[in-house]
Amino acid sequence: MASSSKRFLKLATMTASIASKTVSNTIRNITSNETEKTSAKQQLFHDIGVQIANTLGEMKGAVMKVGQIASQYKDIFPPEVSKAIEKLQRQAPAMPFDQIKPYIEKELAQPLHTIFASFDETPFAAASIGQVHRAKLHSGEDVVVKVQYPGVDEACESDLKQVRLALRLMGVLKIDKKLQDQLFNEIQESLSNELNYEIEAQNLEVARSFHANLDTKIIIPSIYKHLSTRHILTLSYEPGESIQTASSWPQPLRNELGKRLFRAMGQEIFYLRRFHCDPHPGNFSFRENGEVVVYDYGGVKIVSPEIIQHFKQLISAARNNDLNALEDHMVALRALTEKNAFPPALYEQWLDVLLRPLTKDYDFAENSAHHDGVKLAKQSLKYWDLFRPSPDTLMINRTVSGHYWNLIHLKVHDNLNDLFEELIPPTDR
């Protein structure tokens, strides 16, 4: 990893360049008409997004993770910026084994050969803050070893401040400063938790215990505590097929897997109130016996009972087409800035789009709700400032929408209404 001074210099250079671009854009467009100004602003945001993505993509460690987390909060950015930084989710640098090996030995206070009978030098997965290796214990058990990059946690706070400064320039963030503070505090907390594998181990144990009492076909890796530290996490090897492979399985099995995945995440949100909030398809695998394996509990969101109750009542209002109550709960959840300003007819169309996959026989491969939602968004654009990303609901929304896309990848075709009623019974709303 680059030194903290080099990282700081690279980020500061990026920030200065963005500032220069925004000033130049303002000067060039003093005499432009509104159409030209809009076009120039879209191009500016695109260029800024590309620059942020390219700069962060070159840098291992906390700063790239900050960019990845920011890309997951894409509702707070203009679409041009969101699209450009989305690619950060897919980039995965790896560190050479000769640098990783002494780090593992230092963390576990033993030579590698005394701990493991074999250890694959090439990681089978790599991400922004660490990489994962297959290994075998002397007892014969297959394990995976998650190794955090050395020094990645040291630059966390300064990296986040620099990225935030870059994003705030000239309104790249679409929200006011108070809401920015709340959201970036949440990003800081999320990043700190992901950098602490002891917290992830606790999250795994809680989730394993919770799901074991509800559905034995939800598989969560077990932890080898004596081979785990704040920076190393050794887990049982839990193989499964990718979502792409599972999408070719028979329709009844795909429906079973999709419903099991959606139920498990819903149970975490509405019952445990502590949920896995990274719905990336790579965090799940599937078995032909109907089991679903869930990986990576580094990203977990804890939600208060009050927020969950508002969310349930919001859903009840939506199902009953009670627009007044709907807006009351959206205001309470800090997702709506003004009541009685969004046309009721548009609300009703949006409710059909949003509830359709959950309340009717729905072909996720056809994805009609998404296609209708894209058309409806164009009609709703002039009212968009009424709505804002809420720190209370952002991760719930992201998790639910992410699993909607997972069901699309699985090509589920079923009626989820019974599952919807099971997760949020009318008596609970």
Going by C-alpha positions, the residue among 306, 297, 307 that lies closest to residue 211 is: 297
Dist. CA 57–CA 429, nearest whole Å: 44
Q: Check residues 250 and 296 and name the one with the higher pLDDT.
A: 250
Q: Are 399 and 265 in contact (CB under 8 A)?
A: yes
Report whether pLDDT(6) > 50.
yes
Q: How far is CA 128 from CA 21, 91, 185, 216, in A?
A: 28, 8, 20, 32
Dist. CA 22–CA 115, nearest whole Å: 55
Please write the tens of the pLDDT for every residue from 134-187.
999 999 999 999 999 887 776 666 666 766 666 665 455 555 677 677 767 777
Please write the tens of the pLDDT for every residue from 74-130.
566 666 666 666 666 554 567 889 999 999 999 999 999 999 999 999 998 877 778
Looking at every residue in the chain, the average pLDDT score rounds to: 85
Highest mean pLDDT, choosing among 75-89, 237-251, 378-392: 237-251
Please write the tens of the pLDDT for every residue from 282-330.
899 999 999 999 999 988 999 999 999 999 999 999 999 999 999 999 9
Sign of CA dihedral 212, 403, 199, 226: positive
Report whether pLDDT(201) > 80.
yes
Say what percent of the chain tops pLDDT 90: 54
**Band of residue 3 on the pLDDT scale cut at 50, 70, 90:** low
Dist. CA 311–CA 315, nearest whole Å: 6
Q: Are 230 and 185 in contact (CB under 8 A)?
A: no
**Residues 6 or more apart whose Cβ sits within 8 Å of residue 90:** none
Report whether pLDDT(235) > 80.
yes
Q: Are 300 and 203 in contact (CB under 8 A)?
A: yes
Q: Which two tokens stand for residue 316?
A: 């009840």
Q: What is the mean pLDDT of residues 318-343?
A: 94
Q: What is the mean pLDDT of residues 338-357?
A: 95
Dist. CA 44–CA 20, nearest whole Å: 11
Report whether pLDDT(203) > 90.
yes
Q: How far is CA 351 from CA 319, 341, 357, 398, in A?
A: 8, 16, 11, 18
Q: Which two tokens stand for residue 120?
A: 């694959």
Degrees (nearest 5) of the Cα angle 312, 306, 348?
A: 30
Dist. CA 223–CA 104, nearest whole Å: 17
Phi, psi values for residue 343, rounded to 5°: -60, 130
Q: Check residues 170 and 364 and name the one with the higher pLDDT.
A: 364
Dist. CA 318–CA 359, nearest whole Å: 12
List the single range of 36-45, 308-317, 347-356, 416-425 with lowest mean pLDDT.
Answer: 36-45
Report whether pLDDT(346) > 90.
yes
Q: Are 144 and 132 in contact (CB under 8 A)?
A: yes
Phi, psi values for residue 330, rounded to 5°: -65, -40
Please write the tens of the pLDDT for every residue from 391-419.
778 888 889 988 999 999 999 999 999 99
List the single range of 145-154, 187-196, 234-243 with lowest mean pLDDT.
Answer: 187-196
Q: What is the pLDDT of residue 170?
A: 46
Q: Decide: helix, strand or coil at residue 280.
A: coil
Distance in Å from the first CA to the final CA of the chain? 50
Q: In three state form, how does the secondary structure of 243-284 look? A: HHHHCCCCHHHHHHHHHHHHHHHHHHHHHHCEEECCCCHHHE
